[in-house]
Amino acid sequence: MQDFFTALRQSLEANSRRLKAGKAFLPEYLKQRKLVNECFPPVARMVAKKLNLPLKEQVSNSFPEEWKIWKRQIVDHVLGNPKHPHYHFELESLDRAQLYLFLPGGRRDASKLWHYWGTVCKRLSGNKAMPRYFVFLLILPDEPVGSMPLWDIAYSKLFDPKVRPIIQNNPFSFYDRMIKTSARLFLNKKDWLIDKDGEWFKARLIDYQHLCELVIITATGRQLVMSRGRDGFDPAKEQTVLLRWSTRQRSSVS
């Protein structure tokens, strides 16, 4: 995982011009999915190249209907042999790196954490096409931002509209710790998992980080912060590196 974190930092920096030295993380780049469709794919391709791994994009990860989670997750980037990949890598832009998608006790068909649960269950049951690491990259600027979609207010009603200025003043300060706390609670909740014989048993996801680890990396525009499931998303164990943007650099991967 350390190699992935290093490769991600280097790839972001190498794509400084394309990412506008981090300005592509701001709300204006949500329009027409500019960050997702134009700015970020070369970064993912460069990460795969640096790790010497094949890359597939928009890969289906389906779940049995009886599990009562979204029937199918579309994984943004899968790195490694598709039959036994290393990483599922999900980009969560500013309009998606919000609490309603990461509630630990949320509906199974509405929380991305249940995608991770389903992936672990599939791996425990012997599906080798499931990854060793399940990585979310949260885009949360550490600075004031302009008007942005806030589904936690408009859709899920988690927060009063009066909170909007607080969120927009610094999305990182508002959301980063909240989402990681949700992830920690989710990992430590005793829930049903499935074994290789198809039998259900009570266990905690925190005890299976050696099998499929949940990792959250936050890009603030100024830095990258990696928090790991094996550490229980402990703030004291996070790794932080500065992003050294340079508009002089040119991407070597298109």
| Confidence tier at 57 by pLDDT (50, 70, 90) | very high
Asked if pLDDT for residue 253 goes beyond 80, the answer is no
Residue 33 covered by a domain:
yes
Show the domain range for 59: 2-242
Average pLDDT of the segment spanning 15-30: 97
Phi and psi (nearest 5°) for 225? -125, 120
Asked if pLDDT for residue 114 goes beyond 80, the answer is yes
Residue 197 covered by a domain:
yes
What pTM, to 2 d.p., does this model score?
Answer: 0.95
Nearest Cα residue to 89 out of 119, 110, 67, 63: 119
CA gap 198, 179 in Å, rounded: 31
Residue 25 covered by a domain:
yes
CA gap 135, 213 in Å, rounded: 8
Residue 254 covered by a domain:
no
Report the amino acid identity of residue 84: H
Burial bucket for residue 212 (CB in 10 Å: 0-12, 13-18, 19+): buried
Crossing angle, helix 2-14 and helix 41-50, to 10 degrees?
A: 130
Strands 190-194 and 87-92, sheet pairing: unpaired
33 Cβ contact partners less than 8 Å away, ≥ 6 residues apart: none
Q: Quick one: what percent of the chain has pLDDT higher than 70? A: 96
Residue 252 covered by a domain:
no
Average pLDDT of the segment spanning 134-152: 97
230 Cβ contact partners less than 8 Å away, ≥ 6 residues apart: 209, 210, 213
The helix or strand, by DSSP H or E, that contains position 12, with its residue range, turns out to be: helix 2-14
| Confidence tier at 248 by pLDDT (50, 70, 90) | low
Residue 143 covered by a domain:
yes
Nearest Cα residue to 229 out of 194, 193, 186, 190: 186
Q: Note the pLDDT of residue 198.
A: 86
Q: What is the pLDDT of residues 192-235, one digit of tens each?
A: 999 888 899 999 999 999 999 999 999 999 999 999 999 999 99
Average pLDDT along the chain: 94
Average pLDDT of the segment spanning 28-45: 96
Residue 69 covered by a domain:
yes
| Confidence tier at 106 by pLDDT (50, 70, 90) | low
Residue 250 covered by a domain:
no
Count of domains forming the chain: 1
What does the radius of gyration of the chain's CA atoms come to, in whole angstroms? 18
